Structure 1
Amino acid sequence: MPSTNNERTAVVLGLSAVLLWSTVATAFKLTLAQFSPIQMLLVASIVSAFTLLLICGYQGKLNQIVPIFKANPKFFLLLGLINPFGYYLILFKAYELLPASQAQPLNYSWAITLTLMAAIFLGQKIRRQDWVACGLGYFGVLIIATKGDLLGLHFESPLGVILALLSTLLWASYWILNTKNKSDPIIVVLLGFLISLPFSLFAAWHEGHAWSHINWQGWLAVSYVGLFEMGITFVLWLSALKLTQNTARISNFIFLSPFISLILLSQIIGETIYPSTIIGLVFILIGLMIQQIKFKRHRSTSTTRSG
């Protein structure tokens, strides 16, 4: 049956996206060994923009880019400044200051941040389970940030922790702004990269860091980030969600990503994975899972009802 084939394809695409996203924390650290965060943002954005242009060309969407931008240029300018420019610049700086095994789980709390911001800016009701999820999630954040020293509240890099959490605010803001945007999501992401490029170029020029010391491994690593953190993986994920009839099942694949990422960081980069990181991550993921639970009111003889 076609629907069965679609589900199989959706699972393959969803798992592929998750596996690729699981590698980017390692790629971030390898890239930052040779690039500054601003240099990394510029090159990765160029790679991603070029990749998304090719994808839009293949899908026959190139003629939609300019009309979509002209329909609301100020909106797309704001989106581009938030993501990729602000979001990735701050995220890359957080990865530069923190071990990736800490920065990645901290950034993973963005979905909990989104719940709070949606209540403030969109007027969405926060359910009781959302408050529980937020409490668990940010308790997990505190465990990771202090390496389990909850009483001493000692942070290895306070600025790194602040930047990692600030990145969640920017990412959540980006999705809140997108809630009423009905344009093709791939084109929206592409426009963000195209708009942000002049700002990234100016920032890299103003920073004035040399480029001559970067070897081929560095260029390969930053190209990988542009392809698989910012480009192709996003398209794979959107395609999986479009094909599936069970969005929750595909969405749950994302919970695999942080654990695979920690394994890769340990084996490839040689980072020490602290028990506090695992414990804190578990709290964050439990919070995210609680958020996804839909409680239904079942009628039974034990419930109060009229008649």
Structure 2
Amino acid sequence: MELSFKKTTFPWTTVILIAPFFLWGTAMVAMKGVIPQTTPLFMAGVRLFPAGLLVLATAAITHRRLTVSARGWWWIALFALVDGVMFQGFLAEGLVRTSAGLGSVMIDSQPLAVALLSKFLFGEVINVWGWLGLSIGILGISAIGIPDDWIYSLFHGELVAVDWSWQTLFDNGEWLMLLASLSMAVGTVLIPFVSRHVDPVVATGWHMILAGIPLFGFSWWYESEQWIHLDWQNWLCLGYATIFGSAIAYGLFFYLASLGNLTSLSALTFLTPVFALLFGNLLLSEVLSPLQTVGVCLTLISIYLINQREKLAQWLFKSDHCINTENDSATEIDSQLVQPPLALNLNQSKPEIILEE
């Protein structure tokens, strides 16, 4: 059975759908600007724990159901481990070792994993347009994130050697971002299960709080000088990442995920690297190469194909149906044109000639 987005009475529905990905992209830039002055695990905890309190406060103000069953707590704990501790931990550690735009690109390779998981778990339909869009999206984010020299070397029949040894694997920022991407994909498909037992907004708040506690614990144990070098501008950037990049963005995203088609919603995450690269260029002077520009265009095409796949399939079906109908009509007319004007009625004992119009 395929999940479909429910009709909403909210104005500016498109803005609401895009908002989480805009906030994530710009929050990535804000965190990259702060990371030289702090430590990754502390930053991850700051991004989650206060945001969870804000989400729960919003849920209480809007009179959402705050009670959680015993089974609901188990789902929230699993959700916190995967989408909180693992996702934010890998993201923060990876951001130290890569740029904001590239990090966002690697994280947003997760729609393919979401599509596959949703297909097997929820029976979501991914037609040929959806697979085409996902494939183009992967090409797009690859063009954005893979170094240009490596891509150009492939066209010349060469291959740049890359060290993938296990000793240096976790020092590779792109690998850590890929692990963050997979964690987010699993967290996304967990939401429908969590929302069966807990209000999705309440679950989002609690999972942030529960994930923030071990992140602060790891930071206290392994890191030092977490906030000594932070000035008011750094705290302002952390506040933006916490309030807008976590509380508002995650609240909107997981609320929408509980309502609709996970493949279509997750496909919009291809927008996040676009925003991250744009604002990274404006604020951090991260330059967009020609190949990355092509990747942005491919990304936008993939978003259109994935989110319009059902309409495109219906349009194609109607077009084929119209062509078949026209062919049937033409065949009927041709058969009438070649039909002889005279016919014999042999059922009569005495044959007679019948003139047909």
| Cα separation, 1, equivalents of 2:43 and 2:175 | 20
**Code of the aligned partner of 2:100:** A
- Which digits, 9 at most, give the CA deviation of each residue in 1:161-194, with x for residues without a partner? 2222222211111111122333322101011012
1:58 maps onto 2:52 in alignment: no
1:285 maps onto 2:285 in alignment: no
| Cα separation, 1, equivalents of 2:241 and 2:125 | 36
1:93 maps onto 2:93 in alignment: yes
**Code of the aligned partner of 1:261:** A
What root-mean-square deviation, in Å, do the aligned CA atoms of Structure 1 and Structure 2 show?
3.6
Residue 110 of structure 1 corresponds to: 110
| Cα separation, 1, equivalents of 2:9 and 2:229 | 47
- Which digits, 9 at most, give the CA deviation of each residue in 1:2-36, with x for residues without a partner? xxx95535456556555534421211211212222
**Code of the aligned partner of 1:45:** L
| Cα separation, 2, equivalents of 1:133 and 1:15 | 18
Residue 137 of structure 1 corresponds to: 137
TM-score (norm 2): 0.70
Residue 212 of structure 1 corresponds to: 228
Moved more, 80-89 or 156-165: 156-165
Residues 124 and 256 of structure 1: CA distance in aligned 2, closer, same or farther (over 3 Å): closer
1:162 maps onto 2:175 in alignment: yes
- Which digits, 9 at most, give the CA deviation of each residue in 1:229-273, with x for residues without a partner? 11023445678999xxxxxx9999877654343232112111122
Residues 250 and 143 of structure 1: CA distance in aligned 2, closer, same or farther (over 3 Å): closer
Contact 2:56-2:206 within 8 A present in 1 as well: no
Q: 1:32 is matched with which residue: 31, 35, 38?
A: 35
**Code of the aligned partner of 1:218:** N
Residues 14 and 26 of structure 1: CA distance in aligned 2, closer, same or farther (over 3 Å): same
Cα deviation for residue 128 of structure 1 reads: 2.7
User: What does residue range 255-274 of structure 1 map to in structure 2 within 5 Å?
Assistant: 258-274=273-289
Q: 2:187 is matched with which residue: 174, 197, 207?
A: 174
Residue 245 of structure 1 corresponds to: none
Contact 1:47-1:223 within 8 A present in 2 as well: no
| Cα separation, 1, equivalents of 2:73 and 2:267 | 35
| Cα separation, 1, equivalents of 2:162 and 2:288 | 16
Cα deviation for residue 117 of structure 1 reads: 2.6
User: What does residue range 226-245 of structure 1 map to in structure 2 within 5 Å?
Assistant: 226-235=242-251
How many correspondences in the alignment? 296
Cα deviation for residue 111 of structure 1 reads: 1.8
Q: 2:50 is matched with which residue: 39, 47, 52?
A: 47
| Cα separation, 1, equivalents of 2:173 and 2:18 | 30
TM-score (norm 1): 0.80
- Indicate the percent of aligned positions where both proteins have the same amino acid: 19
| Cα separation, 2, equivalents of 1:288 and 1:155 | 31
Contact 1:145-1:155 within 8 A present in 2 as well: no
| Cα separation, 2, equivalents of 1:153 and 1:285 | 29
Unaligned regions of 5+ residues in structure 1, if any?
Answer: 243-248
| Cα separation, 2, equivalents of 1:137 and 1:11 | 20
Residues 134 and 18 of structure 1: CA distance in aligned 2, closer, same or farther (over 3 Å): closer
SS at match of 2:220: helix
Residues 261 and 155 of structure 1: CA distance in aligned 2, closer, same or farther (over 3 Å): farther
- Computing the radius of gyration from Cα coordinates, the structure with the larger value is 2
Contact 2:267-2:306 within 8 A present in 1 as well: no
Residue 209 of structure 2 corresponds to: 194
Cα deviation for residue 59 of structure 1 reads: 1.3
Contact 1:52-1:190 within 8 A present in 2 as well: yes
| Cα separation, 2, equivalents of 1:258 and 1:238 | 19
**Code of the aligned partner of 1:216:** W
SS at match of 2:322: coil
* Larger RCO (CA within 8 A; separation ≥ 6): 1
| Cα separation, 1, equivalents of 2:134 and 2:161 | 22
| Cα separation, 2, equivalents of 1:34 and 1:89 | 17
Moved more, 146-155 or 51-60: 146-155
Residue 300 of structure 1 corresponds to: 322
Moved more, 35-44 or 276-285: 276-285
Contact 1:69-1:191 within 8 A present in 2 as well: no
Residues 228 and 122 of structure 1: CA distance in aligned 2, closer, same or farther (over 3 Å): same
Residues 69 and 215 of structure 1: CA distance in aligned 2, closer, same or farther (over 3 Å): farther
